[in-house]
Amino acid sequence: MAAPAPPTTSSKPPLPPRLAVPLALALLLALAFVADFLSYSSAISPAVSSSSKTVKEGNIDDTKLRNGSPTVHSHVDVYNFTSNTWTGRFDMPKKMSYSHLGMASDGRYIYAVSGQFGPQCRPAVSRNFVLDTKLRKWDELPPLPVPRSEAYSMTCCRYAPATQLWRGRLHVMGGGKEDRHEPGLEHWSLAVKDGKALENEWRAEIPIPRGGPHRACVVANDKLFVIGGQEGDFMPKPGSPIFKCARRHETMKLNGSKLSPMPKPDSHIEFAWVIVNNSIVIVGGTTEKHPITKKMILVGEVFRFDLETLKWSVIGRMPFRIKTALAGYWDGWLYFTSGQRDRGPDNPSPKKVVGSMWRTKLHV
């Protein structure tokens, strides 16, 4: 796989909204996720490729500082694959979470579940929304049910739950519970069609064997796969201790059967995957912390899961390590954009949130 290069323009017709806008909302969510670890920000600065030494300018706003604290986006940016340009922007609902949402799309409608307001570690939000990308219209969905174990709460919230559409139902599972640290095992589904809920309440499904946030959730060949993620996260209480996050590398099908693990534990890959030629391709993420310094280590590999052999392999490297990137595939090109990148070729710990867009020809 060639080193990713900056996109160039194309003479092909404009990308339809069913492809352009899902990328846009996913980008918004991906940008918001990285606010947890952001300690500063500035205007867009170039992202330097450690492999080609070329410079790619950013295209969208970085997360900003407000009174010394980072903030997150509350709008959607639209990217057009065929022209390789950012073509629009519109607002999110004021009561919708900014980050750590579960998200799935059928091509036209984008479903967004739970998440949190604001940057850093904040309490979760129970409200769920759906976006009609053609009309750019938002509607609200029923809230998640309250499990018996959480009967003390009036609502149920989850941080970064695994979310996907499968067989006409919106599935939500795992994620972090209200304290943000304890992994949730619950699994619910809601019948949906054309952006509307066909039921007033979510249905309980078989619990996921191991919970936690920041996982890839993929439907391929009529099977639902849950990949990677982590157990534990930073707590939302001021002055609370920092809990260790255990990164995961399992690959599971919905029935709970465990498949071949990833080459290394990998988290923050919710939107860092694409399906190409009967393969799941995942870019970047975060792995286990450094055993001595305990600093977070970012991932720069491109992973492939072969849906025939059910085996993983490493098929390439990104121009730098990055977590919470957004991946897309269009016309033979693998794209990735945004996220939080490393401090340099010799330092895999996270630093700047970037807004650059990269692509490479993908052959699998």
Strand, helix or coil for residue 210: coil
Domain presence at residue 3: no
Domain presence at residue 5: no
Domain presence at residue 146: yes
- What is the residue whose two structure tokens read 């055993």? 291
- What is the residue whose two structure tokens read 């998640």? 144
Structure tokens at 71: 């903030």
Pairing mode, if any, of strands 75-80 and 311-317?
A: unpaired
Q: Tell me how far apart the alpha carbons of residues 348 and 90 are, in angstroms, rounded to a whole number.
A: 34
Q: Tell me how far apart the alpha carbons of residues 217 and 164 are, in angstroms, rounded to a whole number.
A: 6
Contacts of 214 (CB under 8 A, 6+ apart): 33, 160, 228, 229, 230, 267, 268, 269, 270
Domain at 273, CATH number: 2.120.10.80
CA 316 to chain centre: 20
| Grouped pLDDT means (10 residues each) for the chain, 364 residues | 57 45 46 34 26 31 40 83 91 85 94 79 79 95 78 68 96 82 86 97 92 91 92 58 48 71 93 96 92 88 97 97 95 95 95 92 93
Q: Tell me how far apart the alpha carbons of residues 232 and 239 are, in angstroms, rounded to a whole number.
A: 17
Domain presence at residue 178: yes
Domain presence at residue 196: yes
Q: Tell me how far apart the alpha carbons of residues 325 and 334 are, in angstroms, rounded to a whole number.
A: 12
What's the CA angle centered on 235, arms 234 and 236, to 5 degrees? Answer: 120
CA 344 to chain centre: 23
The H or E element that residue 31 is part of is helix 17-33
Range of the domain at 109: 17-361
Domain presence at residue 6: no
pLDDT of residue 314: 97
pTM: 0.78
pLDDT of residue 245: 44
pLDDT of residue 243: 43
Q: Tell me how far apart the alpha carbons of residues 111 and 76 are, in angstroms, rounded to a whole number.
A: 14
Give the count of domains, the chain: 1
Domain presence at residue 12: no
In this structure, the number of other CB atoms found within 10 A of the CB of residue 73 comes to 21
Among 131, 138, 103, 96, smallest CA distance to 117 is for 96
pLDDT of residue 85: 92
Domain presence at residue 212: yes
